[in-house]
Chain A
Amino acid sequence: GENVEQHPSTLSVQEGDSAVIKCTYSDSASNYFPWYKQELGKRPQLIIDIRSNVGEKKDQRIAVTLNKTAKHFSLHITETQPEDSAVYFCAASEGSQGNLIFGKGTKLSVKP
């Protein structure tokens, strides 16, 4: 079955710097890759997603890149702000069926 590895597990940056979180997956049939942000005590919320027919997608300060050959995808946050502090989860669909397999999460801390 699908296996998703996420790195790093913790990340600390200064306000205004960029943050990059990377995930690898094992199932070459996976075709949907969402990213979720979870603030302390809250539910995970989708922040951006990418499908396998696209290499990059941007939404303001957030971007996701996908390399299907290497089976990895990354979340890029530019001009980080303290409110970006949260745990971020990547996920990959299990084959073409759609069940999501999640990475273990990255705790991002943005220091003012």
Chain B
Amino acid sequence: NAGVTQTPKFQVLKTGQSMTLQCAQDMNHEYMSWYRQDPGMGLRLIHYSVGAGITDQGEVPNGYNVSRSTTEDFPLRLLSAAPSQTSVYFCASSYSIFLDIEYFGPGTRLTVT
């Protein structure tokens, strides 16, 4: 199993550009989520999904969209990038939302200039 994979590893955007961060898992996990990690702020939940076709907002959802058309994929879209979205983004997955371990992807380092 590849586990949780993310692409790209690094990305530089100009303010106002849009892009999609890709996340995929091959463990047949129902639960997937996106976090952003900023220095001194820990990991903050952006959006999550409890299964294909179901998504919900986390702690910091503004400026981001998600969709879950398949169990395997959970892309994160930045609609109009802003410097405040400069961060490291981690995708994670679990067997279910209820009391389970989260497996993290390798991360995407995004810089918005």
Contact = CB atoms under 8 A, between A and B. Distances in A.
A49 B101 contact: yes
Contacts of B74: none
B42 A31 contact: no
Nearest to A43: B104
Given A43-B107, A98-B97, A99-B58, A105 B90 contact: no
Contacts of B105: 43
Interface string A89-112: 101010011111111110000000
Which interface class (under 10, 10 to 19, 20 to 34, 35 or more) fits B?
20 to 34
Contact of B102 (A31, A46, A51): A46
B44 interface: yes
Chain A CB count within 10 A is highest, among B48, B96, B97, for B97
A28 interface: no
B35 to A, nearest CB: 8
Contacts of B44: 102
Contacts of B35: 102
Contact of A44 (B33, B59, B90): B90
Nearest to A9: B40
B48 A105 contact: no
A43 B42 CA distance: 12
A99 B94 CA distance: 11
Contacts of A9: 40
Given A43-B107, A44-B90, A44-B104, A98 B43 contact: no
A45 interface: yes
Interface of A: 6, 9, 31-32, 34, 42-46, 49, 51, 89, 91, 93, 96-105
